[in-house]
Chain A
Amino acid sequence: MAKTSAAKQEQTREKSTGLSTVRGNSREAVSPDLDRLIHERIRLGIVSALAVNRSLTFNELKSLLKTTDGNLSVHARKLEEADYIVCTKSFDGRLPKTEYKLTTTGRKALERYLNHMEALIRATREG
């Protein structure tokens, strides 16, 4: 119940386009075209890790990102729903095995995100 409520709150936050915040004298603006889906730390970690591996298992990602089962599965599902990653479930002997792969859409999203961050740095430093 609590998990559903937290997920809804996050969805609402992500859908919101009023992402600009003004703090003190410095304006910390988040551009509306920024991909909020991979802007979140764990999701960014999942996509980055999968970008340098053909596939990674749930346990490998969990250990790499030092996160919990629940946290990882919630964030991985969001990426899956957006078609950024694909998940395959199989059995390794008797043990269930969950494996993730980055899709072309996910790879392009990461490239866009990287370009966006670089552009932000350039624009701020030049301006």
Chain B
Amino acid sequence: MALTNPSRVQLTEPIPIDARAADHLRYIRETMESAGEFTAVPGWGGVAMGITALAAAYFAAIQASPARWLLVWLLEAGVAVAIAAPAAATKAHRANAKLFSGPGRKFLMSFMPAIVAGGLLTYALTHAGLYGALPGLWLLLYGTAIVTGGAFSVRVVPVMGFCLMLLGAAALFAPANWGNALMAAGFGGVQIGFGIWIAKRYGG
């Protein structure tokens, strides 16, 4: 009997055992990668935070005293939290995930230490009257928080953190009156740019 059914031949084409084993290993790696990712970083939320940061940079720049300048940025920090928290919760809910379990918890646990350190250092430096150091400190530590938290998220998130860290490093050594412009670039420009990227590539 002739063995000439080509589709049959194609169906029974053997898969080399090493290719199959490699496929299993690839599946394990991909599952681990996606299971370890926190995908609820809010892209559009980041854009909104960036826009409010640009407004804050403008209002901070026209304040007469350092205390009022600080107040503007502290209010902006509160606004940013008020935007980010519901935006992340909504995105996590849409993805049928939880913010405070699995990758989300790891993200927060890695994100928070740098933010808490930033808060304490802000308090100490303002008491010492060292307002000029704050833009560099904030950008650097917010960038650090994004990089460390971003280790559990999609790759673009830690890249955004590095950009913020670079701006923070620049702000530490730049003249003090560049602070608002560098924060506008970091908290505004970087967050808007990466926010659009995250929103378009990673579901909102």
Contacts and interface: CB of A to CB of B under 8 A. Distances in A.
Interface stretch (A19-27, A69-77, A80-88): A19-27
Q: Taking chain B's interface residues, is the majority helix, strand, or loop, or is none over half, making it mixed?
A: helix
Q: Give the interface size class of chain A.
A: 35 or more
Interface string A40-78: 010011001111111111011011110000000000000
B97 interface: yes
Contact of A29 (B13, B17, B25, B103): B17
A97 B12 CA distance: 44
A99 B101 CA distance: 10
B71 interface: no
Interface stretch (B30-38, B52-60, B80-88, B156-164): B30-38
Interface string B77-103: 000000000000000000111100111
Interface string B4-41: 00000000111111101110110110011011100000
Contacts of B96: 59-60, 62-63
Contacts of B12: 23-24
A64 B35 contact: yes
A50 B27 CA distance: 14
Nearest to B16: A26
B21 A117 contact: yes
Nearest to B23: A117
A109 B148 CA distance: 30
Contact of A56 (B13, B32, B102): B102
A67 to B, nearest CB: 12
By Cβ-Cβ distance, the 9 closest A-B pairs, closest first, are: A49-B35, A124-B18, A26-B14, A48-B31, A23-B14, A120-B21, A52-B36, A117-B21, A63-B96
Interface of A: 23-29, 39, 41, 44-45, 48-57, 59-60, 62-65, 99, 110, 114, 117-118, 120-121, 124-125
Given A23-B14, A48-B28, 16 more contacts: A28-B14, A28-B20, A39-B24, A48-B35, A53-B103, A54-B102, A55-B101, A55-B102, A56-B101, A56-B102, A57-B101, A60-B96, A60-B101, A65-B31, A114-B25, A120-B21
12 contacts: A24-B13, A28-B15, A44-B27, A48-B27, A49-B31, A49-B35, A56-B35, A57-B98, A60-B101, A64-B31, A110-B28, A117-B25
